Amino acid sequence: MTTDLATRDGARVGSMLRTWRTRRRLSQLDLAALADVSTRHLSFVENGRSRPTADMILRLAGHLDVPLREQDRLLLAGGYAPRFDRQELDPGSTEVVMAGLRDLLDAHLPYPALLLDSWWDVVDANAAAQALMATCDVDLLEPPVNALRLSLHPRGLAPRIRNLDAWAGHLVRQVTSRAQHTHDPRLDQLAAELRDLAPSAAAAALHHGPVLALELETDDGVLRFFTVAAQLETASDSLLEGLHLETFVPADQATRAALQR
């Protein structure tokens, strides 16, 4: 019975690893060389003839750039405990990191900054970002608030974005690219929703200047921002892996002066 279970686990995780290898457009020879294993052993793993150890699963997944959440799924499929969902095991383990990220939000004042998760849902925002979002329809501000949906929704920021087509095209390309890399169905759904909200975005010409700026009409005049995104490079927790700071930097002196007032 134990042998049958191990065989079934090996077949399941082997199939999943083969799928990720195909997605990354690597041959068995390519992956075997990267992971320093024999092609024969990798073939046995993928076809279920050999059940990989947890360390082997993680080694292969690392070279395939598999997101941490998906690495946990691979481990579960192989019959092992997940390694990266530490928030579930120890809810207090990420408190210090989250506090540090919130300090960065406040340090960016008087300019807007958002803390977003893998799907661009707002985890936190500084006072400047909250002030900009407060002008949107209250229904759109019910958690979870998706920053991209809020940007392109007709009851959100969209009516105030002067270069809406160019900005929407940028956002759609961003989500589509991440969806293609992570194969996350939630991101596929988000990309489709954004395309529905801004159907003309697909035809928008690519921006050829040094940086694409968001041009937003406000009571203080037109504010122009470019964005800088930063994420944790050493995250070993699936909750933290997708978190990223989206900071809005003034793209002209008038915007800088308006916000500093």
Domains of the chain: 2-84 (1.10.260.40), 95-260 (3.30.450.180)
- pLDDT exceeds 70 at position 146: yes
Percent of the chain with pLDDT over 70: 90
At residue 243, the 3 state secondary structure works out as: coil
Q: 255: which 2 tokens? A: 């915007």
pLDDT over 80 at 89, yes or no: no
Q: Tokens standing for 193?
A: 């929703």
CA 49 to chain centre: 35
- The pLDDT, as a whole number, for residue 2 is 47
Which of residues 10 and 258 earns the better pLDDT score? 258
> How confident is the prediction for the chain on average, in pLDDT?
90
| CB atoms near residue 65 (< 10 Å) | 11
Tell me the average pLDDT across 169-190.
95
Q: Which of 79-83, 197-201, 220-224 has the lowest mean pLDDT?
A: 197-201
216-245 burial by CB neighbour count: b if 16+ within 10 A, else e?
Answer: beeeeeebbbebeeeebeebebbbbbbbbb
Q: Are 203 and 189 in contact (CB under 8 A)?
A: no
Averaged over 95-120, what is the pLDDT?
94
pLDDT of 9 higher than 60: no
